[in-house]
Structure 1
Amino acid sequence: MTPLALAPPTAEPVTLTEARQFLRLDLNDEDDLLATLITAARLMIEAAAGRCLIEQPWRIVLDRWPGNGEIRLPLSPIARIEAARVYDVLGAPQPVAAAALTLDRSADPPLVRVTGELPEIGRNHGAIEIDIVAGYGATAAAVPAPLRQAVLILAARWFEERGDVASRDARALPSAVAALVAPFRRGRL
């Protein structure tokens, strides 16, 4: 299974205005840097939590359908399945009916269950594509407050302590940020 990001989120969980207020910045001459740090902090928090914060489109690519009829998705939370297709023997995409796949959002990790008829697979690799939308919601308001705060603190830390602090944080999140992310981490067995 290969997850492919199709596009970045249309918004960030923290706005430039919120970050400027948090940092007590009156001028906007460093907005480009601050916007980059907010994006980088979101990516770091998403990786640490194992969750997408703002809705973003992804494609899940599979070679074949699982024998048990359940696909455990590597992303969480999942808002919806947008489309699915199977490539036939000629390499043409054949749509999968919406009723053939059911999303179980309550499972962690989320599951897609095969619940109907599926088109015939025609190639050995990358035969199945499922387009999904992952994230808490389309706006920052949908993101849990502790995760938004973690993004804000991390971006502010990188802004204030420019230099090699980002490389130190890549090895281990600062303890205050890690504590905010901890309740949202996906467990692994």
Structure 2
Amino acid sequence: MPAILLTGPAAEPLTLAEAKTYLRVDHDGEDAMIGSMITAARATVEALTRRVLIDQSWRIVRDAWPASGLIPVPVNPLKAITGAHVIDAAGAEIEVPLAALISDTARLPGLIRVERCAVPEPGRVLAGIAIDVVAGHGADADHVPSPLVEAVRVVLAHFYEHRDEPGAGAAFPARLDALVAPFRVTRL
């Protein structure tokens, strides 16, 4: 069940100024590179934890409604379902009433319960269902758990220090695992 990013985060967990202070960089010559590394560090922490740090919009694509009626959400923490549709045999989108999809945002991974009697069946065998969701800890870094922000700093520093050493500096510092371990979302 793939998840497709629709809208990325409006901000990063670290500002450029915070990152430069942490890295002890006092010039502007590497601002673009450091900005790219902040994004890469956030994405790395998100991949390690299976969590979205700052609110993002995603589309979950499925072939069919599950027999159990439960869809585990691949992007967490789930905040809201914002839309859904199925594609009929002619390729037209048919809107699914949001009342037919109930989100459980309290668990990780989040779950969507489908009221099977209230949703149309897709007319296409592959990728006939799309559910749009918002996932993340909040709109800005103030809502992200501080150990995860620190994990972004650790990854950023690692990327910055080893930017010219492919392979030799590939292993992340051991403390990164200690920072992200309590926040890892297991798969169902």
Residue 184 of structure 2 corresponds to 185
2:87–2:93 CA contact under 8 A, matched in 1: yes
1:120, CA displacement in angstroms? 3.1
1:76, CA displacement in angstroms? 0.9
Residue 109 of structure 1 corresponds to 109
Task: Answer yes or no: is 1:142 the counterpart of 2:143.
Answer: yes
* Unmatched segments (≥5 aa) in structure 2: none
Q: In the aligned structure 2, how far is the partner of 1:5 from the partner of 1:130?
A: 12
After TM superposition, the score normalised by the length of structure 1 is 0.91
1:8, CA displacement in angstroms? 2.3
Amino acid at match of 1:46: E
Say if 1:121 and 1:162 are closer, same or farther in 2 by CA, change over 3 A: closer
Q: In the aligned structure 1, how far is the partner of 2:172 from the partner of 2:20?
A: 22
- Between stretches 36-45 and 112-121, larger displacement belongs to 112-121
User: Any idea what the Cα deviations from partners look like across 1:30-77, whole Å, max 9, x if unmatched?
Assistant: 110111111111111111111111111111111110011100111110
* Unmatched segments (≥5 aa) in structure 1: none
Amino acid at match of 2:163: R
1:121-132 aligned within 5 A: 121-132=122-133
Q: In the aligned structure 2, how far is the partner of 1:164 from the partner of 1:52?
A: 29
Residue 173 of structure 1 corresponds to 172
Q: Across the two proteins, how many residue pairs are aligned to each other?
A: 187
Residue 94 of structure 1 corresponds to 94
Identity of aligned residues (%): 45
After TM superposition, the score normalised by the length of structure 2 is 0.92
2:2–2:60 CA contact under 8 A, matched in 1: yes
2:55–2:135 CA contact under 8 A, matched in 1: yes
1:158–1:165 CA contact under 8 A, matched in 2: no
* Pairwise CA RMSD: 1.8
Q: In the aligned structure 2, how far is the partner of 1:141 from the partner of 1:8?
A: 17
User: Any idea what the Cα deviations from partners look like across 1:82-139, whole Å, max 9, x if unmatched?
Assistant: 1000111221101111101011012221100013611232111111000111111111
